[in-house]
Amino acid sequence: MKKVLLQTSLWATLAAVAVTLAACALDNYDEPDAQITGKVVDRSGNPVGVMGSRGQVTLQLWQPSYPLKADAISVNVSSDGSFAAKVFNGEYVLKMRNNTGPWVNNTDSVVINLNGSASVDFPVTPYYTLGAATYSLNGTTLTATFSITEVTAGRSIDEVALMVNKTQFVGFDGEVHVKKETSGTDVGSHTIAMDIGDLTEHRKLYARVGLRISGIGQGLYDAKTFAVR
């Protein structure tokens, strides 16, 4: 019985050593030292604004030559349409993750031959675009003026709003403190004014305009966020 216990203990020790060595080997791999950066843009090259605070809108980064055929790397798109991924040098394919952004689904891809760093644009076809957005504060009245242009027919606008938040993550799904919808949801010029006098307890305030598209889960926003104060 003692012999069995000793053998069992020996095998347990050897197994623990093997696991430790494997872990050390994994720890000894170099960290990625190359980077891909870029922006999601419309067909005119303008950045497309999204919520960008909880990884709701993502792209997929594939490495076709990787021998283990690993799953795609999920690349988060920030509120101003920008994205970044730190990876190893090699050939990559950047693709859309369908049904996440306020644009038309497609199978387009961007091939990236990475050696050190690369900056790329990822073009999408929006249903609508927000343009020429300006913001002004007069006393406690915040005013936004902007235009809406239809790019792809087939989906109506459900809601248009000017939103204010205490952080730079301003959106329909964020911690919105104030929003005021326009009286209509047509394309063309829009002006929305709101009184923010009841938000004096917040030292920092940020604003931007956005719209919701029928049947699309994520809102479309101005790519810029306005610092109210």
The residue-averaged pLDDT of 205-211 equals 95
Our CA angle for 91, 93, 97, nearest 5°, is: 155
- Tell me the pairing of strands 82-87 and 109-114: unpaired
224, burial (CB in 10 Å: exposed 0-12, middle 13-18, buried 19+)? middle
87, 94, 91, 89: which is closest to 115 by C-alpha? 89
Q: How many whole angstroms separate alpha carbon 165 and alpha carbon 213?
A: 21
221 close to 80: Cβ distance less than 8 angstroms: no
Q: How many whole angstroms separate alpha carbon 228 and alpha carbon 3?
A: 77
157 close to 147: Cβ distance less than 8 angstroms: no
The pLDDT of residue 15 is 43
The pLDDT of residue 28 is 55
Placement of tokens 């007069």 in the chain: 138
**50-92, pLDDT tens digit by residue?**
998 778 899 999 988 766 556 789 999 999 999 999 999 999 9
Q: Cα 21 to the chain's mean position, in Å? A: 38
The pLDDT of residue 186 is 85
The CATH code for residues 34-123 is 2.60.40.1120
pTM of this structure: 0.82
From 126-140, 149-163, 192-206, the region with the lowest mean pLDDT: 192-206
- Determine what percent of the chain is predicted with pLDDT higher than 70: 83
**CATH 2.60.40.2060 in the chain, residues?**
128-227
- Whether the pLDDT of residue 184 is over 90: the answer is no
Structure tokens at 84: 């970044």
| Architecture per CATH, 128-227 | Sandwich (2.60)
**CATH 2.60.40.1120 in the chain, residues?**
34-123
**2-35, pLDDT tens digit by residue?**
333 323 343 334 344 444 444 444 455 678 889 9
